[in-house]
Chains A and B, each alone.
Chain A
Amino acid sequence: MLSNFGSILFFLIFGAVFVCVNILLSRLLQTRNPYPVKLSVYECGELPEGNSWIQFNIRFYVIALIFLIFEVEIVFLFPWAVVFKDLGMFAFVEMLIFVGILLVGLAYVWAKGDLEWDKPEQVPSPELYRTDNVNSAVKITESVAS
């Protein structure tokens, strides 16, 4: 078992070294001609506006929180799944209770709308865009103007 983890550690180090060597090699081969405009951050060709280290939507945080709880739950389920074949019915009932309690949590966040992402604004219904009806097209122009 230890040797297996040893090879994994080795692979991690090897991968890191592989990338570093590649980047170094390309450093040696490339022509470098930096100037201020090239080194500016890309913002659709405009000059960058302000700093990009901005405040983020709380949605991301809530999703990460819910994920963390379920992750811990799944960590408990992995050893259960390994022994499930040996323990049979008893283990199954225990797992049902365990998962059942957590499904209450999922149902709670689902019902309370914590899993909803901010949806885009409702666009006008496609019926209004129909071109075969001149009156509706006029209506749209009027409604937009008002």
Chain B
Amino acid sequence: MNITLFDTIFYLLAFLTLGSAAIMVFSKNVIYSAVGLLFTFFGVAGIYVLLAADFVAVVQVLVYVGGILILLLFGVMLSNKITNIEITTETLHFLPASLVVIGIFVVLYRVFITTDWNPVGSYNFDPTTHEIGTLLMTDYLIPFEIASILLLGALIGAAYIARKD
């Protein structure tokens, strides 16, 4: 078997992603879950790089680590109402949760086996930002503008809900 450095890095990143995701799910401490999530995001960003999506990889770190994770941590600090009990998670509603998970798995697996995968032998690692910018300004103009309305709605909604305490 001929394992290249590329493959090694891929498996290491996949291991990092799945391992930290497992820590995130099974940890009893919410902060440990958040750290696990951090490494999951980082691993996913690494896999994006291996898929030649440089812009998406950096945005993954910027938005998920720099935005959503901080929001989650602030949320944890905020919601901890009882001061003398450590921040912990508990497993509730085991049965419905597993039903939902199995359902999602079946759907994803069906998509996975029915999709006509079109494997690319080797892809060129060109910078993608310029292309993304051009496509956003031409072919995907309407989604681009709709995204701003979506963001506006999210901003106003979030501010409104947060204000009501």
Contact = CB atoms under 8 A, between A and B. Distances in A.
A76 B144 contact: yes
Contacts of A82: 129-130, 133
Interface string A71-97: 111011011111100110011001001
Interface stretch (A25-33, A100-108, A133-141): A100-108
Contact of A60 (B52, B78, B158): B78
A26 B63 CA distance: 36
B152 interface: yes
B7 to A, nearest CB: 13
A90 B137 contact: yes
Residue in B74, B80, B81, B154 whose Cβ sees the most chain A Cβ within 10 Å: B74
Contact of A83 (B57, B78, B134, B165): B134
A129 interface: no
A97 to B, nearest CB: 6
A2 B49 contact: yes
A33 B149 CA distance: 60
Contacts of B158: 62, 65-66, 69
Given A72-B63, A72-B67, A75-B63, A61 B148 contact: no
A69 B154 contact: yes
A55 B133 contact: no
B159 interface: yes
Nearest to A52: B83
A56 B74 contact: yes
A50 B83 CA distance: 8
Contact of A58 (B78, B81, B125): B78
A47 interface: no
Contacts of A112: 159, 163
A59 to B, nearest CB: 9
Contacts of B133: 79-83
Nearest to A113: B163
A86 to B, nearest CB: 8
A5 interface: yes
A14 interface: no
Given A82-B129, A109-B155, A76 B52 contact: no
A101 B132 contact: no
B121 interface: no
16 contacts: A50-B84, A51-B84, A55-B77, A55-B78, A56-B74, A65-B71, A65-B159, A67-B67, A69-B158, A75-B62, A76-B144, A79-B130, A80-B137, A94-B145, A108-B155, A109-B156
